[in-house]
Every structure is written in structure tokens, then in C-alpha cells.
Amino acid sequence: MISEAAPVTLAALQAGILPRLTGVREEIRRLIEADFPLIAQVNSHLTQMQGKMLRPTLLLLSEGATAGRPDPRSVSLAAVVELIHLATLVHDDAVDHSVLRRGMPTINALFSHQIAVIMGDYLYSRAVIELVRQADLEALQILSRVTNEMTIGEMRQLLAHDPLKFSEEDYDLLVRAKTATLISGACEVGALSASPTERDAMRRFGECAGIAFQIVDDVLDFTGVEADTGKPAGLDLREHKVTLPLIYALPRMSPAQRIQVADLMDDPEPSDAAIAQVVEAVAERGGLEYARTRAQQLCAQAEAALDELHPSPARETLRASLTYVLERRR
């Protein structure tokens, strides 16, 4: 039972692949390198804004759980996947006018909105160049489809601002397109040299784990502490983003609570007190519990997909990664 397992840290998941993850970081630096001073400056900020490297980790574990031996090209593919993720973050922050990411200023905040738009394009085209250099049409096929789906997810995000019109089904489509597709793509790319059954199992594993990951992210936005998450609590509500806890809780709220939600959504700059009220109402009406249960169900589905693989240490680490997804605090 995943939900009862002991907390798992990301460091524990990455312990067996540390040298390869170092390789991924070096490869990312190589891929984004530029002569042009302004780009070099942005790059240096981006590499300091070191992420969790979740997608490269899953790609390499997926390879470990399905292939005979590690392929050196997987390190490059893992770097490309992280690069696509980075490009998406840079554009998402520009679109959302976010000022903080992982506790550091975003590119649009530190440089400018214009530079963020151009840098996203720069990073993404570098990722494509590397895939072409590797002549890896299968990876290109998966990752170009994934990138396109993510743009559709971003469009869905723009419309996710009216809690009365945004259903759980809409949320599901949004989360699949925005988050699960790249995590699933990373897992599938890691399994490219495996059998079709294993490849499909890893794709499904990534899809379910990816949705669960985003749901937990959205729960953490309600419950998280800024020191942990690197962003203020209730940020989604502040930005009028409707997520699963609110979708579930809203029809179960008292009339007074619903008015609080409507007022918050109408207020361009809601107060901390207004946000705290809605956070409390969502918790009281079972929104957080419901979202956590959904995430657990999805992780159980992801775990079932792992049964298609032969037993291996990497498979067990992938299993443990589901506990990490559910239990993480940031």
C-alpha cells in the first residue's frame, strides 16, 4: 500500500543514478550554451534555478527498469526532456506574469517579458536541434506531440478561471495536457528500446503519476508553507486558478462560503484574509481530502502498470517514486 509507506525523499530516488544526473546537468549546460552575452546571462540564471530533475530521473529509471544496459544517449535525451520542461516553465511564467519560481525570480521578472518569450523559443529550438543531431525520430515524435499538447494545456489554463464553469472533467483534461503528457513522454522515451508492452506500461505509469503529481501540487498550493514550496500559499487562488480541491468543495459549501469564493474570483487583488477564508472553506468541505484520494487512486493505477515489467531495483525505485509524489511537501 503506497499511501502507508514511509516518506521517500527525491534524493533517495536519485541515489542510484547520481553520476548520470550530473551528466544530464552538464548536457543541459552544453545544449543551451550561447555566444550572445544576453542569452548567456539568462542561461546562467536558469542553471542556478536548479529544479528537482524529476523528469530526467523518471526517464533514467524507466530505462533502468526496461532495458538491458544504460545507453549513453539516454543522458542526452533526459537533458532534452528537462530542457523542454524549462522552456515551458519560462513561457508559462511569462503568460502568468509569475514573479517567483522555485523561490527565485522568474526570467520575466528578472529580465523582461520579451526576453522570457524569446528565451522559451531559444530553449525549445535547442532541444529540437539535439534530438535531430541524435537522429532519434521516435523520441522526436513523442516529444513534439507532447510539446504541442502542453500548448493546448496552457490554453485550457487560460480558461480555468471560473469555478462555476470549470468542471472536474475540464480539470482532468487540463492536467493531462499541462503536466502528465511530458512526464509520460519522459517515461516512454526512457523505454524506447524496450518491448511494446513495456513501453506502453511506462507511458501509462507516467500518465497516472503525472496527473497525481499535479493534483498534489495543487493541494500543496492550499496547504504548503512558502519556505518549502518556494511560492506563497494560496497563489493559485490569488491568480484565480481553479483546481481540483475547489472544484470538489464548491458545490458542498454554504451559501456564505460560495459568496466568499465568488468575491475572491471577482477581486483582481484578493486580500490574504479572503484567500485564507476560501482555503479554510475548501478544507472544511473535503476538497483537500478528495484531491488526495484521487491522487492515491492514480498512483495505484501507476503502480499496477509496473506489474508489466520484470522485477528490478529500478522498478522498485519507480514504485517508491509514487510515494514521493504523494508525500512530498514541496
Contact footprint for its own copies (CB under 8 A)? 34, 36, 38-39, 91, 94-95, 113-115, 117-122, 124-126, 128-129, 132-133, 135, 137, 140-141, 144-145, 147-148, 150-152, 154-156, 158-159
What is the nearest approach in angstroms of its own copies to the Cβ of residue 113? 8
What is the nearest approach in angstroms of its own copies to the Cβ of residue 142? 9
Which of residues 115 and 281 has its CB atom nearest to its own copies in the complex? Answer: 115
Distance CA 210, CA 206 (A): 6
What is the nearest approach in angstroms of its own copies to the Cβ of residue 174? 11
Cell match 518569450: residue?
A: 117
Distance CA 100, CA 141 (A): 32
Catalogue the E-assigned strands of 153-204.
none
Which of residues 50 and 141 has its CB atom nearest to its own copies in the complex? Answer: 141
Which of residues 122 and 324 has its CB atom nearest to its own copies in the complex? Answer: 122
Distance CA 256, CA 258 (A): 5
CA distances to 197, 223, 265, 303, 319 from 309, rounded to whole Å, are: 9, 35, 46, 11, 12
Which of residues 122 and 290 has its CB atom nearest to its own copies in the complex? Answer: 122
What is the nearest approach in angstroms of its own copies to the Cβ of residue 164? 19
Which of residues 34 and 276 has its CB atom nearest to its own copies in the complex? Answer: 34
Cell match 530521473: residue?
A: 57
CA distances to 44, 71, 72, 314 from 193, rounded to whole Å, are: 34, 10, 13, 16
